Amino acid sequence: MGVLRAAGEGTRLRLLALLSNGEHSVKDLTEILGQSQPRVSRHLKLLADAGLVSRNAEGAWAYYGLAEGGASGDLARWLISRIDPGDPDRARDQSRLDAVRSAQQARAAAYFAKVAHSWDQLRQLHVPEEAVEAAILDAVEGKTVGLLLDLGTGTGRMLELLAAHYKRGIGVDASREMIAVARAKLASASIGHAQVRLGDIADLDASVGQADLIVIHQVLHYFDDPGRMLAQARRALKAGGEMIIVDFAPHELEFLRSHHAHRRLGLSDQQMTGWARAVGLRVADLRSFPTANGAGLTVCLWRLADDPDGTSEK
């Protein structure tokens, strides 16, 4: 009865519907609903206490998503399926959600345009890049795949690094400036079997084809819902293919969110395992690379492979 009471209120139903599109921060939900932060937080707490949604705290922010399983999670999804898609509140919320996402993408694009030409040097400031790149090469040692897809290719570094391990490579990025730098770098390195395309990696064009290997290097922390991004990537992965994901471990460096367009303060192994399982993949290997003094950012490399027992959304 408590679960039904928690879900059976207008604003809370709207929140459940919004969370069916993926994880969102309290800040974004407040903006979408046009309600105060304390009011939205109170509704979210009631939903979380009832087991309908999950909460993940990251520094000063918190992200909410629908509960993954169990009776409460199933009930949440059933309730959402009963909402009239023509409901005015639902339509208005979706429109505002689209506007919020567009604004986030615009801020990220402006940031990448500003740093495009110094991107590789910027990464060196806080990432043990040589060790990470050696581990990436180790993960593909002895392999040459038909198609490598590099999502969020940036300056094309992964296409350059892995050039000997694919017959054809495609890099996709939403920043025109990054794409311009990547094209110049690939041409300079005489890498003719790779190309880069301007595109939205959160809504991949089917024309990129089905990849044997997908690389997502230092990209997922720019998305509010990395799991949704991973599900998009999964659709472009061949049966039996693999993904290599490189990103930060959880941290509390808020300035990366305010000054460097990060949306998530790192990704945990537990989160990655859950996101992978939801799309029929498993974590086949995990390697961590802390900074030398242990006071900075730790970089993680996950290798994801097919999970025959997983629940694929492909």
Q: pLDDT-based confidence at 1, cuts 50/70/90?
A: very low
CA triple 249-255-256, angle to 5 deg: 45
Q: Which of 65, 83, 101 is the last residue of a domain?
A: 83
Domains: count for the chain? 2
- pLDDT at position 146: 95
- Pick from 178, 167, 28: nearest CA to 108: 178
Q: Same domain for 254 and 130? A: yes
CB 47 within 8 A of CB 12: yes
Q: Same domain for 181 and 70? A: no
Query: DSSP letters of 44-100?
Result: HHHHHHTTSEEEEEETTEEEEEE--SHHHHHHHHHHHHTS-TT-HHHHHHHHHHHHH
Q: Same domain for 153 and 280? A: yes
Q: Same domain for 14 and 162? A: no
User: Average pLDDT of 184-201?
Assistant: 86
Q: Is residue 69 part of a domain?
A: yes
Q: Is residue 165 part of a domain?
A: yes
Question: Which amino acid, one-letter code, is at 3?
Answer: V
Q: Same domain for 21 and 73? A: yes
Q: Is residue 29 part of a domain?
A: yes
CB 12 within 8 A of CB 46: yes
Q: Same domain for 163 and 226? A: yes
Q: Is residue 90 part of a domain?
A: no
Q: Same domain for 33 and 121? A: no
Q: Is residue 106 part of a domain?
A: no
pLDDT higher than threshold 80 for residue 139:
yes
* 104-133 burial: b if 16+ Cβ within 10 Å, else e: beeebbebbeebbeebeeebeeebbbeebb
pLDDT higher than threshold 80 for residue 287:
yes
Percent of the chain with pLDDT over 90: 31
Q: Same domain for 152 and 291? A: yes
Q: Which of 83, 109, 137 is the last residue of a domain?
A: 83
Q: Same domain for 69 and 6? A: yes
**Contact partners, residue 16, CB within 8 Å, separation at least 6:** 7, 47, 52, 53, 66, 76, 79, 80
Q: Is residue 298 part of a domain?
A: yes
Q: Same domain for 74 and 220? A: no
Q: Is residue 312 part of a domain?
A: no
Of the ranges 8-12, 102-106, 227-231, 273-277, which one carries the lowest mean pLDDT score?
A: 102-106
The angle, 0 to 180 degrees and rounded to 10, between the axes of the packed helices 10-19 and 26-33 is 120
User: Average pLDDT of 265-287?
Assistant: 93
| Overall residue count recorded for the chain in this entry | 314
List the CATH number of the domain containing 297.
Answer: 3.40.50.150
Q: pLDDT-based confidence at 294, cuts 50/70/90?
A: low
Q: Is residue 94 part of a domain?
A: no
Q: Same domain for 76 and 161? A: no
Quote the distance between the C-alpha of residue 59 and its chain's center: 18
List, for residues 20-56, the tens digit of each pLDDT value: 877 788 888 998 988 888 898 888 888 888 888 888 7
Q: Same domain for 273 and 168? A: yes
Q: Which two tokens stand for residue 3?
A: 């679960």
List the CATH number of the domain containing 49.
Answer: 1.10.10.10
CA triple 244-103-36, angle to 5 deg: 110
Of the ranges 33-42, 85-94, 192-201, 207-216, which one carries the lowest mean pLDDT score?
A: 85-94
Q: pLDDT-based confidence at 313, cuts 50/70/90?
A: very low
Of the ranges 48-62, 118-132, 261-275, which one carries the lowest mean pLDDT score?
A: 118-132
| Host domain of residue 28 | 2-83
pLDDT higher than threshold 90 for residue 277:
yes
